[in-house]
Amino acid sequence: MNIINKLILFLIQATHWIYLLLCGISSFLVVILEPFWISVPIIGWIMYLAFSRVLDCPWTRLENYYRQKCGKPKIRTFIGHYIIKRN
């Protein structure tokens, strides 16, 4: 059962990375391909979602659930844990 939880955790982490990568790529593409009156609100929304302290990412909650099942400590933020290494 623990192997299945570790596999699920790996799939969640991989999907989270892919999602963040696609969001980053789409941010640049929307600035390049769309007029400013369309790209500015979209970029503002992406920035709000990325840096809000109020919102809780559902992917991070799901990862924390499976991290607990695998005996690993919870993380506060995905980017903070894997890229900035602050928690």
Tokens of 5: 């939880």
Number of domains in the chain: 1
Tell me the per-residue pLDDT of 2-49, one tens digit each, with 9 for 90 and over. 889 899 999 999 998 998 889 889 889 999 999 999 999 999 988 888
At residue 50, the pLDDT reads 76
In Å, how far are 6, 29, 34, 55, 61 from 76, measured between CA atoms? 19, 29, 34, 12, 9
At residue 8, the pLDDT reads 92
Query: Given pLDDT bands bounded at 50, 70 and 90, which one contains residue 86?
Result: low
Contact of 75 with 87, CB cutoff 8 Å: yes
The range of the structural domain enclosing residue 74 comes to: 2-84
**Cα 82 from Cα 72, distance rounded (Å):** 14
